Structure 1
Amino acid sequence: MTAPVEVVVGTIGRAHGIKGDVAIELRTDEPERRFAPGAVLRVEGTRKQLTVETARWHSGRMLVHFAELADRTAVEQARGQVLVVDVDPLELPEEDDEYYDRQLVGLTALRADGSEAGPVVEVVHLPVQDLLAIRTAQGDRLVPFVTELVPAVDLTAGTVQLADVPGLLDEDQAVVADGGQPA
């Protein structure tokens, strides 16, 4: 059996009301799964555990009540703590075309011609889309993680395939936005 992987799922935010509800700054694509009633989370870097009693959406934010945080004062003291869970490294996302960061980091990025560009060293999460940070010989490059630019992910082969787009990885091949010549 392989050892579980620690995954960050959120950060304790502001108190909501006086009865111990707290807004969670989510760091997971599966909040309903990670914050389901009965789920046990851990505070990163400690052995302190928090048990989800209730979770609900309110004005676009997830509000959670933990059994161990009985009131507003307890929540305010816990504010800023990072919440983690241990998951089986073989666990997969619910959707077929979704991936966990831990599945992507370490894969080898292949250029359209099949040559190696370098390893994926990080997944950067932005509000609009995620980016793959790929370490190339010229330095780290950010590639939007969208099907048009990353048409294939092969976890078995340990690769991500990049599209044939000038300038995607190499600055010297970048095409000027107005249709001009390479920079």
Structure 2
Amino acid sequence: MERVVGRIGRAHGLRGEVTVEVRTDVPEERFVPGAVFVTDPAAAGPLTLADVHEHSGTLLLRFEQSTDRTSAEGLRGVMLLVSTPASDEDDAWYEDELVGLRVRSPQGEDLGEVARLDTGGAQDLLVVRRADGPNVLVPFVHALVPEVDVPGGFVVVDPPGGLFDPENAIEDQR
């Protein structure tokens, strides 16, 4: 199965480097020179990683197929994918496994569905699309998300009081 491990951001410099929004827990294993990525959209790839380094806390990548700023700018927004087996960890999921799952309260009340997983910051956030309003951000921690049942098609969210109130919803910027 192909899994998203990153999304290409803006061009950096003049030699074809790009920033990357990391979507893997093991960037040091995924982003190594010589790694080949399938892309979405497919027409952008495959891409072979020529160089990787960090600059001011941002991971920078240069692909063999991107040698100047113009070609790097053309890659913005491209998703980087790798073939991986399903995770064998009990508490590890890929974004594509979570998106579309129904979100339930511990009492079984339907709260919406997982729209996406935002990574980075202090912890990952489940973006829950509510049927009756804007999205809600839920920290993806065991205390608030005690159960993830991918085969069953749902996650249980035990929100603190008020988390799903309309004033705590967000306008989706994506």
TM over 0.5, yes or no? yes
- How big is the shift at 1:52? 1.0
Matched residue type, 1:116: D
Q: 1:55 to 1:96 in 2, by over 3 A?
A: farther
SS at match of 1:139: coil
Identity %: 32
Q: Return the TM-score normalized by structure 1.
A: 0.68
- How big is the shift at 1:36? 1.9
Task: Tell me how far apart the structure 1 counterparts of residues 84 and 132 of structure 2 sit (CA, whole Å).
Answer: 32
- How big is the shift at 1:105? 0.9
Matches within 5 A, 1:5-44: 5=2, 7=4, 9-16=6-13, 20=15, 22-29=17-24, 30-42=26-38, 44=40
Task: Tell me how far apart the structure 1 counterparts of residues 19 and 102 of structure 2 sit (CA, whole Å).
Answer: 34
Q: 2:156 aligns with which of 161, 170, 177?
A: 161
RMSD (Å) for aligned C-alpha atoms: 3.3
Task: Tell me how far apart the structure 1 counterparts of residues 112 and 12 of structure 2 sit (CA, whole Å).
Answer: 44
Task: Tell me how far apart the structure 1 counterparts of residues 166 and 56 of structure 2 sit (CA, whole Å).
Answer: 42
SS at match of 1:147: coil
Q: 1:127 to 1:42 in 2, by over 3 A?
A: same
How many residues are matched?
164
Given that residues 104 and 155 in structure 2 are in contact (C-alpha distance below 8 angstroms), is that contact kept between their aligned partners in structure 1?
yes
Given that residues 13 and 80 in structure 1 are in contact (C-alpha distance below 8 angstroms), is that contact kept between their aligned partners in structure 2?
no
Task: Tell me how far apart the structure 2 counterparts of residues 79 and 36 of structure 1 sit (CA, whole Å).
Answer: 21
Task: Tell me how far apart the structure 2 counterparts of residues 33 and 43 of structure 1 sit (CA, whole Å).
Answer: 18
Larger relative contact order (CA 8 Å, sep ≥ 6):
2
* Structure 1: runs of 5 or more not aligned: 175-183
Given that residues 12 and 24 in structure 1 are in contact (C-alpha distance below 8 angstroms), is that contact kept between their aligned partners in structure 2?
yes
Given that residues 12 and 19 in structure 2 are in contact (C-alpha distance below 8 angstroms), is that contact kept between their aligned partners in structure 1?
no
The more displaced of 53-62 and 125-134 is 125-134
Alignment correspondent of 1:100: 94
Matched, 1:67 2:64: yes
Alignment correspondent of 1:144: 139
Q: Return the TM-score normalized by structure 2.
A: 0.70
Task: Tell me how far apart the structure 1 counterparts of residues 7 and 47 of structure 2 sit (CA, whole Å).
Answer: 12
Task: Tell me how far apart the structure 1 counterparts of residues 135 and 147 of structure 2 sit (CA, whole Å).
Answer: 18
